[in-house]
Structure 1
Amino acid sequence: MRKFVFCLSVFFTVLLLSGCNHLTEYSISEQQVNKALQKHDNYQKDIGVNGLANAHIVLSNLQAAIGREEPNKVMLSGSADIRLQSLFGDKHAVVNLKMKAQPVFDPQQSAIYLRDLQITDIQVTPEKLHDVVSALTPLLNQSLKHYFEENPAYVLSADHSTGEALAKKLAKGLEVRPGELVISLTP
């Protein structure tokens, strides 16, 4: 009888602890991150190369793939509308960008930032402007890197849910899992 009671108590303890996982962590889905990234649509920047060429860039359609292509990284894709002005005339290009970044949680801001952003691939339309856009890519990369280090990709808010309110108060760290960012609530 004692064995039965002991086994039953162990069973209920395991059941209780497995059901309390939501009390030790808070998950932010790709969909939630993508919705938050919509606030960064229409990011605009003017960049130039010593008066030879200037480009007005508008970034839109940002989408995140969390931990799927590379462990512990967020892969971003988006479109950049680029208006080029140079000594050779005005040109227009649409660039599909792929970027990767390291998500980092800042407990003081209750926010997730994308650090060390790198452009990993560009697809330029029309193709004949690929070399020109490639020459501007390091400047664009630096600009986007700075932007996402200053502007959070996701901010925890007590208004979203009780779980998120709890995460805002108790967040200890961040883990990247395929399709989600997980904020641990215990050390």
Structure 2
Amino acid sequence: MKKMIFAAALMLSGVLVGCNQLTQYSISEQEINQALQKRNDFSKDIGLPGVAEAHIVLNNLASEIGREEPNKVTLTGDANLDLSSLFGNQKALMKLKLKALPVFDKEKGAIFLQEMEVVDATVTPEKMQGVLQTLMPYLNQSLRNYFNHRPAYVLKEDSSRGEALAKKFAKGIEVKPGEIIIPFTD
């Protein structure tokens, strides 16, 4: 009798999991990170010409979805800086922490990271911290523009993993710790 109840419970859980795949599609942090590594080509010249200018290249982006703050994506990454200022030319490395709001664009079948903002930044060598503070508003605006126009993840129409269904029937997104859910129903 116990075996029959166990078997029935196992079958019911299998049916529920199967139905879940028919009503939503989920994208993990790992999938977002892989897409960010492939698509990221942020390279920008920012600053005040003649005072302080920097060529910035962003790399090693990694996401945490909905873990630190509900409905937000936290990104960490490095930025290589080639600085040119009144004090001469220098190189520096910044460790960045960014926050953004994931938004689904149904027409493009893509997730964009909007309202991007640098929430923490450290620079090496430490003596460059003052220059970093000067450049921060320009860096914030550049990152916001970049991520508003470049998707973090694009659903594939020819995917056998359910991405085609997600692109066709998506009703928005939900942010859960560690994943973004695309529901097919309201």
> 17-26 vs 81-90, which deviates more?
17-26
CA contact (8 A) 1:55 1:82 kept: yes
Q: What are the ranges of 5 or more consecutive residues in structure 2 without an aligned counterpart?
A: 1-10
Q: What amino acid does structure 1 have at the position aligned with 2:160?
A: S
Contact persistence 1:40–1:60 (CA under 8 A): no
Instruction: Give the drift of 1:163.
Output: 0.9
Given the alignment of the two structures, is residue 117 of structure 1 paired with residue 125 of structure 2, yes or no? no
Name the SS for the 1:65 alignment partner. strand
Q: Distance in 1 between matches of 2:131 and 2:18?
A: 55
Q: Which residue of structure 2 aligns with residue 62 of structure 1?
A: 61
Say if 1:97 and 1:121, in contact at 8 Å, map to a contact too.
Answer: yes
Q: Quick check: 1:27–1:180 contact (8 Å CA) kept in 2?
A: yes
1:145 equivalenced with 2:158 (yes/no) = no
- Gaps spanning 5+ residues in structure 1: where? 1-11
In structure 2, distance between residues paired with 1:162 and 1:32:
13
Under a length normalisation based on structure 2, what TM-score does the superposition of the two structures give?
A: 0.89
What are the Cα deviations for residues 57-102 of structure 1, in whole angstroms up to 9, with x where unaligned? 0000010000011110000001000000112110111000000000
Deviation at 1:162, TM superposition (A): 3.7
1:100 is aligned to: 99
SS of residue paired to 1:123: strand
Matches within 5 A, 1:38-187: 38-187=37-186
State the 1:144 CA deviation.
0.4
Q: 1:14 to 1:56 in 2, by over 3 A?
A: closer
Deviation of 1:105 (Å): 0.3
- Structure 2 CA distance, aligned partners of 1:122 and 1:40? 22
Aligned equivalents of 2:17 and 2:57: distance in 1? 46
Runs ≥4 in structure 1, deviation > 6 angstroms?
12-15
Moved more, 78-87 or 14-23: 14-23
In the TM superposition, what is the alpha-carbon distance from 1:43 to its structure 2 partner? 1.4
Contact 1:113 1:154 (8 Å CA) reproduced: yes
Give the letter aligned to residue 131 of structure 2: V
Distance 1:175 1:82 in 2: 35
The match for 1:25 is: 24
Q: Which amino acid aligns with 1:88?
A: F
Q: Kindly, what percent of the aligned residue pairs are identical?
A: 56
Larger radius of gyration: 1
- Give, in whole Å, the separation in 1 of the partners of 2:144 and 2:27: 22
The superposition leaves residues 101-152 of structure 1 with CA deviations (integer Å, 9 ceiling, x where unpaired) of: 0000000010000010110000110001011112101100100001000000
Contact 1:41 1:61 (8 Å CA) reproduced: no
Residue-by-residue CA offset, 1:8-66 (whole Å, 9 max, x unaligned) = xxxx8897455401111000000000000012434100012142111100000010000
